[in-house]
Amino acid sequence: MRLLIIGALDAELGQASRIAAARGARVAQADGPAAALARLRTEGADLVLCDLAHDIGWLIERLAAERIACPVIACGRNADAAAAVRAIQAGAKEFLPLPPDAELIAAMLQAVAGEAEGPVWRDPVMAALLARAEALARAEASVLVTGESGTGKEVLARFLHAHSRRSRGPFVALNCAALPETLLESELFGHEKGAFSGAVAARKGKFEQADGGTLLLDEIGEMDARLQAKLLRVIQEREVDKLGGTAPVKVDVRLLAATNRDLGAEVRAGRFREDLWFRLNVVALHIPPLRERPGDVAALAAHFARRFAAANGLPQRPVSPAAEALLLAHPWPGNVRELENTLHRAVLLAEGGWIGPEAIELTPLQAPRPAAGAAPAPASPASPPAAPAPTSAPVSALVGRRMEEVERDLIIETLTHCLGNRTRAAEILGISIRTLRNKLHEYRAQGAPVPVAPGSGLLPGPGPWTGMGR
């Protein structure tokens, strides 16, 4: 966790700095927003803590203009209420009152770091996987982490980094599907001032930011073929060519990659370079889906129940045996992410001293399609009458509407059904995750309500750090 503090490290800000460092953060300091911006361009950070005495609005505007994705937290004394409101309106994620509270800072760091506690497991299958991961962690070889969406690939990547000889160095993650190809190259390799329209200053890429540490390339299977060739060269030569640069820059990075695709099949289909696959796949770690490690369900449920109760300022409630039985019977197509969403809802809905079965709302599963030529299964006498087959009415109801409106409603409804899971929604819709993200960006710009991604930290209930994103 890289924390950049803007302001003088004396008195209360210095106290906040020491608390964050004691919680494992690597703390850097800048005297003002301009100096902080220059530092973010070259070194990056996971979180910025800015004193209200500085122009937070200007900083957030510059970060947006230069596409530097880093949450900003305003801090100051409670007497500065008007300034705090202005900072939030300008785009600050939260307000940290001074003097600082150690537990609030811990919650802030955890919200940004994601799964800061590391993997939670009880099943022997996961125990064996983590033992293998720990044995491989001290090596320098590239690791390819595979598994279905929502199984915890980034959590395992952080585990590898934490147990490696690079653990004191930075851990930098980049989702290769989150950016269009035109921006992904500069995010990876960096650029010089004037390299392209909008490059108002030189900026280090993720490889340089991760120098001496670990770089995770998530959803590597979504990378464009042209960038695959450039990535292969970086792995081979251990140097990057910045956009607009005149000389290569040496980097010392351990590379981890993650994907929910079968890269072997992608290679055979001609969508992924075979030589890059061999470079990334020196060691492979496959995370089994949650349905294949049932022993983890109860442990994860208890973990999420504690986390969301604390985040929402609610009493701690254990999961009742009846509710646990429901969780164990579910196949979890969305894996750990779906279980996390389910327990989040349950914590908010539960009453009394337990999280009971009435608070467990599971995602409905689609009924399997009968095989071709098979007779329909007879209805159970105790079952309610089946719903009538859909007629042409729903289709005719679309007549007169614009195609863009129908597409937008379909995408948002599918995303809502998937509890905000972008990858699962893209699979159902039959489009790439990049196309889906670009569509959602358009809808947000139009003012349409877009479901929040799971794990983003946007919690519906009251409590500390409810606006924090990862």
- pLDDT tens for 33-57 read 999 998 998 888 888 999 998 999 9
What is the model's pLDDT at position 246?
83
Q: Which comes out higher in pLDDT, residue 21 or 460? A: 21
What is the per-residue pLDDT for 398? 58
pTM equals 0.65
- Note the pLDDT tens digit of each residue in 191-216: 888 777 667 678 889 999 999 999 99
Radius of gyration of the chain (CA): 24
Rounded distance between C-alpha atoms, residue 106 and residue 111, angstroms = 9
Q: Measured between alpha carbons, how far is 257 from 235 in angstroms, rounded to an integer?
A: 12
Where are the domains positioned within the chain? Answer: 2-113, 124-288, 291-359, 402-445
Which superfamily does CATH assign the domain made up of 124-288 to? P-loop containing nucleotide triphosphate hydrolases (3.40.50.300)
Helix axes 295-311, 335-349, angle to 10 degrees: 50
Instruction: Read off the pLDDT band of 302 (50, 70, 90).
Output: very high
For residue 236, count CB atoms less than 10 angstroms from its CB and return exposed for 0-12, middle for 13-18, buried for 19 or more.
exposed
372, pLDDT greater than 60 = no
Q: What is the dihedral of CA 201, 88, 175, 44, to 10 degrees?
A: 40
Question: Do the two domains 2-113 and 291-359 of this chain adopt the same fold?
Answer: no
Query: Is the pLDDT at 377 greater than 70, yes or no?
Result: no
What confidence score (pLDDT) does residue 257 get? 97
Q: Kindly report the CATH class assigned to 2-113.
A: alpha beta
Fold of 402-445: Arc Repressor Mutant, subunit A (1.10.10)
Classified by CATH at the fold level, domain 291-359 comes out as Helicase, Ruva Protein; domain 3 (1.10.8)
